[in-house]
Amino acid sequence: MASKAIWLTILRFMGDLPDVVSSPTLHVFDNENLMSDLASLLNTSDSYKPRLFVRQSQRRIPKPLASGEKEAQEFYQHWLNVPTSHLEKIHFIIGHGIIKNSLRDEILAQICKQLYLNPSRSSYSRGWLLLSLCLSCFPPSKEFEPHLRSFMKQGTAQLQATPSLQRLERTLVNGPRCQPPSLFELHAIRGRHPLRLDIHLMDGQQRRLQVDAASTAREAVNQLCQGMGLTDTFGFGLVMSLNGKLMPLGAGQEHVLDAISECEQRQLDAPWKLYIRKEMFATWYDPSMDPKATQLIYKQILNGLKCGEYRCRSEKDIAMVCALACFVEYGPGEILRLKPSEITAFVPSDLLAPGERAIENWSRLIAATYEKSSYVKEEQNDLLLEAQKRAKEDICLFAHLSWPMRHSRLFEVVRKEGPKLQSDELMLGINSAGLFLIDETEQVLASCCFSEVLKVHVESDDKLHVMTFQHVNFVLQCSSAQDANEVINYMLDNLRQRSSYGVALDPVVEGDLEDCLVLNPGDLIEFEAGVTGAQLMAGNAQDCYRGCVNGQWGQFLAGNVRVLATLTKPSEKLQDILREGRFQEPPKPTPRANYSRRRQHNISQLAESHFREPLDSDKAPLSKFSPEPLKAPLLKAVVKVPPLFQQALVMHHHILKYMGDIARSNLPVNTDLIFQPALQHPLLCDELYCQLMKQLSDNPSSESEKRGWDLLYLATGLVAPSVLVMRELIILLRMRADALADACLKRLKRSLAQGQRKKAPHLIEVEGIQQRCLHIYHKIYFPDDTVEAFEIESHTRGAELIADIAQRLELKSPVGYSIFLKTGDRVYAMPEEEFVFDFITQLIYWLRQQRTIRSISDGQYQLHFMRKLWLNNHPGEDLNGDMIFSYPQELHKYLKGYYPIDCEQASRLAILVYSADHDVSLQRLPEVLTRLIPEDLIPLQTVAEWRQQILPKVHRDHLTEDHAKILFLQELSHFACFGSTFFVVKQQNDDALPETLLIAINSTGFHMLDPTTKEILRSYEYSQLGIWSSGKNHFHIRFGNMIGASKLLCSTTQGYKMDDLLASYVKYFNEHE
C-alpha cells in the first residue's frame, strides 16, 4: 500500500500524472506532523525520533497508531486525494525511506524505472532532482548499490549522475538523515549554488560556513574552529535558536540540515539561527591554553548571566563576576567614573527590574567588590593586558566550577535496565563533574563521577551500557548512543592519562624488586610526582614506578595497577568499594532486585481486622492494587454509614482516574472530589488513606505508582488519619524506597502539629508535586512596585508568611502588616490564622459563586503585602518600612486628595516627590503633574503657575531619594488622619451630613470628613462604636449603646473592607489592653 502511494506521488512530482485539483471542499494536508504520522503508521522500530525545542527535554518515541490495514488505507487515500506542494511530495517520498529501511530500495528503483528512456525533458530533470535528494538522505542496501551505480554510469545518465554519486558517497560516510530535505536545500540545489550557513559567535561576530546535505555537527564545528584559529576545541558545539528556545546539536553525528528541516516543518519561514558556543568543559579545563576560545566563552558567560541562563548562588558571586567584567571592559581606575548603567551592564535583567533603587544598590555592591580586587591594585601599566587576560580567565574558571549542569552534553535516553528511578524517560547529562540522569523537571535522579565509572560501551547501535565500581549498572537506549559513548570515553581516557592514582589488581607480598610495595587487591596507590597514568598505560607491564600506599612508599609494576579516571584523591566511600574487589567487570548487569533498599509493606493485617469481607466481584485482594473500581468501601465502619458509602466510591473512582488506571478525558482530574470528603468526615479520611495504600501495594505500573505517590503526598499535607490507620501508614512510608516517602512522613508530622486543613489542595500544590517540586514559591507584590518570591508550604498560615516577609525585608516589627489577595479590582485581607492555600481556594470559590469571577481563566490573582494597621507609626524609625510601604501607600492617598492641603503645601510636597522619584521629568510637566500634585488641586492653577512654584526650588536642596521620602512622610504625619484608610461613601440617613462622605479609619477611631474641605465632621473612638454590618453594596454602623444610639447607613461597594479593617483594629486593641 505504501509502495503504491509512493509510486503515484513520484509520478505526480515528475509531472507524469496530473495532481489533485484544489477545491474548497478539500482539506489541505498537515505537513507539520507528516514524519510523526508516518512513523506511527508504519509502526516502525527504527530510530526516527522527533526533536522537541526545549533545553534538557526528551525526544519521545511516537506511540504507534492502530496501524491496521483500514487505518493505513484511510491515511493513504487521504494523502492521494488532497492537493500537496512539491515540498510535501518530497517529504512524503523521502520520509518513507528515512523511517522504513525496507522501502529504500523500492523508492530508488521506482525513480530509476521512471528515468529510463523518459522522453519528457521536464520529467527527466525532476526525476534526477528527486533521486539526488533521496541519495542525500538515505543510501541503498548493499545488494542494490551496485545496480544503482551501474544505472547512473550508463549513457546520458552520466551527465546528471555526478552530483547524485557525490551525495551517495557522503551519505555512506556520515549515515542516513533523520529528516527530509528542507526548502533551504531545495532552493540551493535548484539554483546550483553551494549551501552556506551564517553561524553566530558569542562575541557578536558571524562566520559563513559551507555545508552539504550530509554535513554533521562535528564537521561543522571542526571547520569553524579551524577557521577561527582555536586550539582548545573540546566542548564547543552548535546550537539552534528558534523563537527564543534552544536546540543543542552538539559536535557529534547530528546532521546540521536535519535541524533546519525540522524547523521548517513547524513553520516554513521559521526565523532560526545557528550559534557556536561552549557546551561542555573538560574536567582539566585551563583557560590560559587558548585565549581566542577564552574570549568566546567569556562573552557567552556575560550574555548568559545577563539574560538569566546562568544563576549565581549569591549576590556576592554576581558582584564578583560583574566587577571582573568591568575591569576587563573598561580597564583600571576609579569605578565611580563609570555610569551606573555601565557598572550594572552585566547584572541579570530581572534583578534590575525594580528600577533606580536596584541599580544604585547593585552599583554600590559591584564598586565595593571592584575596589577589593587584586587586579585593580596592580599599578604597572605594562602588566595591564596580562591582568585583564587573567581576569577573563577567572570568569571562565568560575563558570566551569559553578555551573557544571549548565555546561553539559545532553542525550535523550530510555532506561532499559538498572536501578528503578521515578521515570524511565530521562536525559543523560555528561559534564566535567561526571554522569547525571535527569528527569524532565531537571531533577537529578542518579549520578556518578568519572572515577566511579568502570566501563562504558555500546551494543546494538543504540544501547549504552554504563558500569560502575559499585556495580550499579545501567543499560540506556539512546538514538545517539555512539556520540554519548565517544564523549564519555574521551573524558575517561584523558582523565586516566592525567591521573596520579591507581588501584592494585593482584596481591604482592614480596618480590624481586627492591623497596617493593606490599599490596592487597583494591589498595589505592598514589603515584610519585611526575608519574602519570599516561606513562603507565603506554609503557611495558613490567615497568616499575614509585608510589605510596597507606603512607608507605615503594615500587610497583605498571601491569598490576588499574589507573583511575580522576585528578583528585578518590573519596573514602569509593576506596572502601575498591577494597571489596569491585574493580573487575561483572559478567552481566546486576539484577534489578539487588537495588531495592527496603522491602515493601502492604496493609494485609489492617485489611484482616478492619476491612469488609471481599465480594464475589472483587478480582484482587482488598489489600493490594487493583485497576477495578470498588463496589463497596474498604472499611467496615464506612460501609455501615449510608451517606458515606457513595462518597467513598466516588473518591476511589477519581483516584483511579488520576492514577491513569481507568480511562479519562483530556481534562485534568478534579482532585477536590478525592480530598474534600476526607476533610469533612474522619471516617472518609481513614478510607482515603486505605484506598491510597492499597493502590500503592504491588502496583505493576510505574506511572500509576508515581501518580499514587502524588496523591499520598498531597493527603499527608492536609489531614492525619486515626491512630489505627496512622500506624500502618508510618510503617509503609518508612519501608518504601520512593523519593517521596520521607517527604510524606515530614508532612504527616506537620499535619499533626499544625492541625487539619479546611480545603482540598490548591491547583498550585497539585501541579507542583506533579513536577516533583517539593518547594513552592509564590510571588508577593509590594507597594513600591517590587516583587519577591517566598516559599509557601501546605501548612503555612498567614501569620507565618507575614513573619517570613518581615524578617527578609528587615522590618522592625511585623505588627500591622497583612497579606492581601487581589483579583480584578477587588482586594481581600487574609486572616492571620488561616492557611494560605485554604484562604486562596475558599475566596476564589466564593467569588465564582458570587459570579464576580465568571470563568476559571478569570480566577487569576496576586498576593500583595501591605501595611494594614497603622500603629505607632513615626517616620524615620523603621527605614525599610517607610521606603517600601509607608511612602508608596501614603503617596497614593496624597495624590487622591484625601489630605487638607493648599496649593503652597502641595508645591513643597511635589518637590519632595520629584526628589524621591527620578523617573519623573519636569520637562513634561503637564503629563507628570498628576504624579506630583493631588488630583483635586490641579485645576486650581494653570500649568505655568505650577511650574513657577515648583521649578525654582527643585535643585536647591539636593535631597537623596530616601531623605526626600522621609521628609514627605514627616510632612503628612502632622495631619490628624495620617495613616488612615479612606473610603468614599454615600450616606442615606443623616440630613446634618453631606450626602457624599469621606470615611477615614485609623488607630484613633472612625472619622467622617467633608470630601471637599477634608474637614473632620465627626469622630468616634473604638470604645464608642456599637455594631456594624456590611453587604455587597452597603455598610451600616451604630455608635454608642443601644439606648439613644445614632447610626450611619452608607451605600458603598467597599463595605467588606471597612468591616474587616474595623474588626482588625478592635481585635488588636482588645488583645493589647
CATH topology for 981-1071 is PH-domain like (2.30.29)
Is pLDDT above 70 for 584?
no
Q: Which amino acid makes up residue 449? A: C
Whole-angstrom distance, CA of residue 580 vs CA of residue 590 = 16
pLDDT digits (tens, 9 = 90+) for 811-838: 999 999 999 999 888 899 999 999 999 9
Q: Which of 27, 25, 212, 64 is nearest to 132 (CA)?
A: 212
Percent of the chain scoring above 90 in pLDDT: 59
Parallel, antiparallel, or unpaired for β 195-200 and 273-278? parallel
Where does the pLDDT of residue 601 fall: very low under 50, low under 70, confident under 90, or very high at 90 and above? low
Where does the pLDDT of residue 326 fall: very low under 50, low under 70, confident under 90, or very high at 90 and above? very high
**Helix (H) or strand (E) segment spanning residue 713:** helix 702-716
Total length of the chain: 1073
Q: Which of 983, 1024, 985 is nearest to 1000 (CA)?
A: 983
More confident residue, 592 or 81: 81
Detail the DSSP E strand segments found in 65-146. Answer: none
DSSP symbol at 1067: H
pLDDT digits (tens, 9 = 90+) for 510-523: 655 667 888 888 89
pLDDT digits (tens, 9 = 90+) for 602-632: 688 888 888 998 887 766 788 889 989 999 9
More confident residue, 51 or 17: 17
Q: What is the mean pLDDT of residues 393-400?
A: 95
Asked if 97 and 87 touch (Cβ cutoff 8 Å), the reply is: no
Whole-angstrom distance, CA of residue 237 vs CA of residue 277 = 6
SS3 content of the chain, % helix, strand, coil (to 5): 45, 15, 40
Q: What is the pLDDT of residue 124?
A: 92
- Does the 604-769 domain belong in CATH 1.10.1530.10? no
Q: Which three cell numbers stand for residue 894?
A: 496624597
Q: What is the pLDDT of residue 1044?
A: 60
Where does the pLDDT of residue 56 fall: very low under 50, low under 70, confident under 90, or very high at 90 and above? very low
Is pLDDT above 80 for 55?
no
Domain 2-181: homologous superfamily in CATH? MyTH4 domain (1.25.40.530)
Q: What is the pLDDT of residue 220?
A: 95
Q: What is the mean pLDDT of residues 1052-1059?
A: 94
Asked if 433 and 449 touch (Cβ cutoff 8 Å), the reply is: yes
Radius of gyration from C-alpha coordinates of the chain: 37
More confident residue, 53 or 234: 234
Query: For the domain with range 287-402, which CATH number is right: 3.40.190.290, 1.20.140.10, 2.40.50.140, 1.20.80.10?
Result: 1.20.80.10
Asked if 211 and 256 touch (Cβ cutoff 8 Å), the reply is: yes
Q: What is the pLDDT of residue 609?
A: 87
SS3 70: helix
Whole-angstrom distance, CA of residue 115 vs CA of residue 861 = 67
Asked if 465 and 457 touch (Cβ cutoff 8 Å), the reply is: yes
Q: What is the pLDDT of residue 855?
A: 45
Whole-angstrom distance, CA of residue 226 vs CA of residue 802 = 59
Mean pLDDT, rounded, of the chain: 87
724 alpha-carbon distance from chain centroid: 41
Q: What is the mean pLDDT of residues 297-326?
A: 92
Whole-angstrom distance, CA of residue 414 vs CA of residue 175 = 23
Where does the pLDDT of residue 60 fall: very low under 50, low under 70, confident under 90, or very high at 90 and above? very low
Asked if 1068 and 871 touch (Cβ cutoff 8 Å), the reply is: yes
Whole-angstrom distance, CA of residue 707 vs CA of residue 714 = 11
Q: What is the mean pLDDT of residues 557-586?
A: 84
Asked if 869 and 803 touch (Cβ cutoff 8 Å), the reply is: no
Domain at 409-497, CATH class: mainly beta
Q: What is the pLDDT of residue 351?
A: 86
Whole-angstrom distance, CA of residue 799 vs CA of residue 811 = 15
pLDDT digits (tens, 9 = 90+) for 489-548: 999 999 999 999 999 988 887 655 667 888 888 899 999 999 999 999 988 888 899 999
Whole-angstrom distance, CA of residue 738 vs CA of residue 368 = 47
From 61-65, 315-319, 929-933, the region with the lowest mean pLDDT: 61-65
pLDDT digits (tens, 9 = 90+) for 758-801: 999 999 999 889 888 888 889 999 999 888 889 999 999 999 99
Question: 986: which strand partners?
Answer: 996, 1051
Cell 500524472 maps to which residue? Answer: 17
Residues 6+ apart with CB under 8 A from 846: none
Is pLDDT above 90 for 92?
yes
Detail the DSSP E strand segments found in 373-473. Answer: 409-417, 425-431, 434-438, 444-448, 453-459, 463-468
More confident residue, 31 or 420: 420
Q: What is the mean pLDDT of residues 365-371?
A: 89
Cell 570515553 maps to which residue? Answer: 489
pLDDT digits (tens, 9 = 90+) for 254-283: 999 999 998 888 877 888 999 999 999 999
pLDDT digits (tens, 9 = 90+) for 958-995: 778 889 999 999 999 999 999 999 999 999 999 999 99
Asked if 479 and 59 touch (Cβ cutoff 8 Å), the reply is: yes
Q: Which amino acid makes up residue 122? A: S
Q: What is the mean pLDDT of residues 221-248?
A: 90
pLDDT digits (tens, 9 = 90+) for 682-698: 999 999 999 999 999 98
**Helix (H) or strand (E) segment spanning residue 264:** helix 256-266
Q: What is the pLDDT of residue 549?
A: 92
Q: Which of 874, 884, 880, 843 is nearest to 860 (CA)?
A: 843
Where does the pLDDT of residue 579 fall: very low under 50, low under 70, confident under 90, or very high at 90 and above? confident
Domain at 879-972, CATH class: mainly alpha
* Per-residue 3-state assignment (H helix, E strand, C coil) for 831-891: CCCCEHHHHHHHHHHHHHHCCCCCCHHHCCCEEEEEECCCCCCCCCCCHHHHHHHHHHHHH
Where does the pLDDT of residue 852 fall: very low under 50, low under 70, confident under 90, or very high at 90 and above? low
Q: What is the pLDDT of residue 23?
A: 58
Query: Domain extents for the chain?
Result: 2-181, 196-278, 287-402, 409-497, 500-563, 604-769, 777-867, 879-972, 981-1071
Whole-angstrom distance, CA of residue 621 vs CA of residue 619 = 7
Burial profile 539-566: b = 16 or more Cβ within 10 angstroms, e = fewer:
eeeeebbbbebeeeebebbbebbbbbbb
Q: What is the pLDDT of residue 50?
A: 45
Detail the DSSP E strand segments found in 996-1069. Answer: 996-1002, 1005-1009, 1016-1020, 1025-1030, 1034-1039, 1046-1051
Q: What is the pLDDT of residue 109?
A: 97
Cell 583557560 maps to which residue? Answer: 287
CATH code reported for the domain at 500-563: 2.30.30.40
Q: What is the mean pLDDT of residues 449-472?
A: 89
Where does the pLDDT of residue 736 fall: very low under 50, low under 70, confident under 90, or very high at 90 and above? confident
Whether 287-402 and 777-867 share one fold: the answer is no
Is pLDDT above 60 for 707?
yes
Domain at 196-278, CATH class: alpha beta
Asked if 336 and 344 touch (Cβ cutoff 8 Å), the reply is: no
Q: Which three cell numbers stand for residue 339?
A: 555610569
CATH topology for 777-867 is Ubiquitin-like (UB roll) (3.10.20)
Where does the pLDDT of residue 586 fall: very low under 50, low under 70, confident under 90, or very high at 90 and above? low
DSSP one-letter string for 916-941: H-TT--GGGHHHHGGGTS-TTTGGGS
Cell 568499594 maps to which residue? Answer: 577
pLDDT digits (tens, 9 = 90+) for 883-931: 999 999 999 999 999 999 999 999 999 989 988 875 555 666 777 788 8
Where does the pLDDT of residue 1004 fall: very low under 50, low under 70, confident under 90, or very high at 90 and above? very high
